[in-house]
Structure 1
Amino acid sequence: MLQKTRGIALSYIRYRETSIIARIYTEEFGLQSYIVNSVRTARSKNNRIALFQPLTLLDMVVYHKNDRDLHRISEVKTIQPFQSLPFDVAKSTIAMFVTEMLNKVLKEEASSPVLFRFLIDSILFLEEASVNFENFHLAFLLKLSFFLGFGPESDREFESQLRENSYPFLPDKEVETALNIMLKRPLGTPVKLTRTVRNDLLDALVAYYQIHIDSIGEVKSLPVLREVLG
């Protein structure tokens, strides 16, 4: 049955000689996998494989059946072509990390329009921001944790949960203030952090997610993110 939905491309794997299986978080159906034929050829129309690069925002018409794990796409186009996110080194590195985390935490379950709206708004902020995005990944993880059911109400709760699980997190007043700003204020609210503090907070946030989601495991994009943004 043909259905319309918006989607956020997360990843894809090669399938047979010219096709891919794309993993897409959709507004209507949650996380889904789609077979996309003939996109890995020189004759592929308008470089269609670019539509499935991480975090690309999509308008789709899909064949959807509830009893299937793999679906097909009838029509697809981008909602808003990116002008900066794939080309700015800092932004593309953040996008790589965010995509890896989303691939780890989003599950094949019912749709969540509120979560989808948050993700769309966050991606568009990162695409359009010219300043104050260096802490985007930290604020994003904190805010995403509420949609996943384990968001901390304050810096003290965040610190307490880490300590209870034997993670050595000892924030000073500056870090506590930064955490509360990122918890309670919009994305892009300026927060001054040194390179060392930003890295320490990043490690603490990943550890916090690992406490609540067993399947996270190693985050391969972390070393690159630390190097580029620090």
Structure 2
Amino acid sequence: MIKNTVIQFLNEVLYKSIRQQHVDEHLFEYLYNAISWFDETEELSVNFHLSFLMKLTRFLGFAPRPQLRLDQKYFDLQDGNFTSLAPVHPYYTSDEEGKSLMLLLSTAFQKNNEIKFSNAYRRLLLDKILIYYQLHTASFGQVKSHQILEEVLS
């Protein structure tokens, strides 16, 4: 039940974010390997969807740029980079949230369960990731299945 709900959610995000007309072997390979791993793994990975979406940004062309200096405390969701000052728009994260997003981006799926987030924090990160996708994907719109996913994962 949980895996099906996660896959339905990811399917909706993929449908809204991939608009390519050409063959992309690297994207296909990533999707195939990630979803196959998720399907075959025995242990439920509650962070899989977060990690999957952060890694997917590399293939969609808007992967976040890493923090370069310690004084860069804010992750600007609109520009996709860390900044020293809070942006004038509302689309940014705190230092901790930005670091969590980068951790999800860099951690292998097999090690996702070593990342410990509360359910509330996981929901917050998902909301930030969806905003990030909305800002970087034309006509992305609202994702409806994430409320169902939140209910199932809580």
Shorter chain as denominator, the TM-score bin is 0.7 to 0.9
CA positional deviation for 1:158: 7.8
CA positional deviation for 1:182: 1.5
Structure 1 match to 2:66: 154
CA positional deviation for 1:108: 4.1
Structure 2 match to 1:131: 43
Which one has a bigger Cα radius of gyration?
1
Query: TM-score, normalised to structure 2's length?
Result: 0.81
Greater RCO, CA 8 A, separation 6+: 2
Cα 1:171–1:158 change in 2 (3 A) is: closer
Query: TM-score, normalised to structure 1's length?
Result: 0.56
CA positional deviation for 1:171: 4.5
- The 5 Å alignment of 1:18-167 reads 89-131=1-43, 133-154=45-66, 159-162=75-78, 164=87, 165-167=89-91
How far apart, CA to CA, are the structure 1 residues paired with 2:64 and 2:110? 19
Q: Percent same amino acid at aligned positions?
A: 32
Specify every segment of 5 or more residues in structure 1 that has no aligned partner in the other structure, as ranges. Answer: 1-88
How far apart, CA to CA, are the structure 1 residues paired with 2:28 and 2:36? 12
What does the per-residue CA deviation read over 1:167-197, in whole Å, with 9 as the maximum and x for residues that have no partner?
Answer: 253253xx45533321112113121110010
Q: Please tell me whether residue 183 in structure 1 is matched to residue 105 in structure 2.
A: yes
| Structure whose residues are more often strand by fraction | 1
Q: 1:212 aligns with which of 114, 126, 136?
A: 136
Q: RMSD in angstroms over aligned alpha carbons? A: 2.2
| Matched residues, number | 140
